Amino acid sequence: MDLKEERQPLLKRPWVWIAAATTVVTVVILTLAFIPNDDAGDRPASSTPSEAERLPLPSESSQSESGDVDDLGRPVVVPAERRGVALPQSEQPSSTSDSNPLARPKGLEWQRVYGSPAPFSRSDGPAAISADGVPRGMSRTPQGATIAALQIVSRIRFGTKADRYAVIDQRLEGATESDKQALRRDGDILSITVDDPEIGDIAANRALVPAAFRIRAGNWTNDAATIDIAYGPHEQVNPDDESDVQSVYYWQSLSTVWVDGEWHLKYKPSLLTRDEKEGSMGSLDGGEWATWVR
């Protein structure tokens, strides 16, 4: 992406309208080809699920030859609810130490939330998922803040329209009503998830999947945390030598604040995209980045 394109408003970029047109065509084809099923996404999730409720369901991803894993090789559960199923909080919360790499939360489980891998744990939340898809009960620890950031941004990017709106209304801090309306509008245009679960889940698994994360020294307090999220790897071609192709990870920061007993995500216009690249690296080696592989 060149500098000229980065300065363009989101809705004026050609790729945005191409994505929007593609989505419209996909929805029309699906409407003609399939008889709609009951909307399973509207069923409220239980906050104390049984093991049977969390067993993988038949889906495009779980039927792959490599088993149910995300693009980074992490085992992923396909929950009974597309919103995800909260795990019993049976373990002690993680330490409030901000040392890197962040220790893996106890009882960690990656679940497909509207198709995109999101972390759940038995120590740091979420303790519940509301009927409108809002995650609740993340611990007041670096791990809890990280889980909250990943949960919230994933739901804003990939959730159904009603659930996206609920998360925007209830879990964004520092956004004006105009900001929220713009985020709703842009999300409606760019939403990767369509109402058909199979198509939406496949698309969500291939885009914006977090590879690793960290909280740098000084970026954690009991009331606020800034989490760096790495995405990738992506192929980068040397402009001076097209045969020189390297893998690169890009990262951007998400900030959370503790409000009324819950972590909220601080608003910024780039929540829906990776346009705001704050840094890059060739690998995740070096001890700073955590992948939380189960």
Calculate the alpha carbon distances from 80 to 49, 53, 90, 172, 235 in Å: 10, 6, 21, 27, 35
Residue at 288 is within a domain: no
Mean pLDDT, residues 146-154 taken together: 95
Local structure of 227: helix, strand or coil:
strand
For residue 95, how many other CB atoms are within 10 A of its CB?
A: 11
The residue range of the domain holding 89 is 3-281
- As a whole number of angstroms, the distance between CA 8 and CA 14 comes to 10
Helices (H) and strands (E) in the chain, counts: 6, 10
Q: Are 281 and 108 in contact (CB under 8 A)?
A: no
> Among 36-40, 78-82, 140-144, which stretch is predicted with the lowest mean pLDDT?
36-40
Unique residue bearing structure tokens 């809705």? 11
140 and 127 Cβ atoms separated by less than 8 Å: no
Instruction: Report if residue 86 sits inside a domain.
Output: yes
- Comparing 98 with 253, the larger pLDDT belongs to 253
| Span 74-88, average pLDDT | 92
* Burial tier of 264 (Cβ tally within 10 Å: 0-12, 13-18, 19+): buried
pLDDT in tens, 158-193: 888 999 999 999 999 999 999 999 889 887 776 655
Separation between Cα atoms, residue 267 and residue 255, nearest integer Å? 8
Q: Are strands 224-238 and 172-173 parallel, antiparallel or unpaired?
A: unpaired
How far is C-alpha 228 from the chain's CA centre? 13
What is d(CA 44, CA 156) in angstroms, rounded to the nearest whole number?
A: 18
pTM of the model: 0.72
pLDDT confidence bin for 155, thresholds 50/70/90:
very high
What pLDDT was estimated at residue 65?
32
Q: Is residue 129 within 8 Å of 242, Cβ to Cβ?
A: no
Who wins on pLDDT, 204 or 224? 224
Identify the H or E element spanning 116: strand 116-120
Local structure of residue 45 (DSSP, 8 states): P
- Name the domain count of the chain: 1
Would 293 be classed as within a structural domain?
Answer: no
With respect to residue 274, please indicate whether it lies within any of the assigned structural domains: yes
Q: Report the alpha-carbon distance of residue 164 to residue 112 in Å, rounded.
A: 16
Domain assignment of residue 146, yes or no:
yes
pLDDT at 274: 53
Upper half-sphere CA count for residue 234 (Cβ side, 13 Å): 17
Reply yes or no on whether the pLDDT at 148 is more than 50: yes
Find the range with the poorest average confidence among 201-205, 227-231, 290-294: 201-205
Q: Look at residue 200 in the predicted model and tell me its pLDDT.
A: 54
Give the range among 53-62, 119-128, 147-156 with minimum mean pLDDT.
53-62
Does a structural domain hold residue 80? yes
Q: How far is CA 271 from CA 71, 74, 157, 159, 277, in A?
A: 21, 24, 8, 14, 12
pLDDT digits (tens, 9 = 90+) for 1-39: 444 444 445 444 444 444 444 444 444 333 444 334 444
290 domain-assigned: no
Q: Is the pLDDT of residue 220 over 90?
A: yes
Query: Two tokens at 246?
Result: 């390297």
The mean per-residue pLDDT over the stretch 188-215 comes to 65
43 pLDDT higher than 50: no
Q: Is residue 286, in this structure, part of any structural domain at all?
A: no
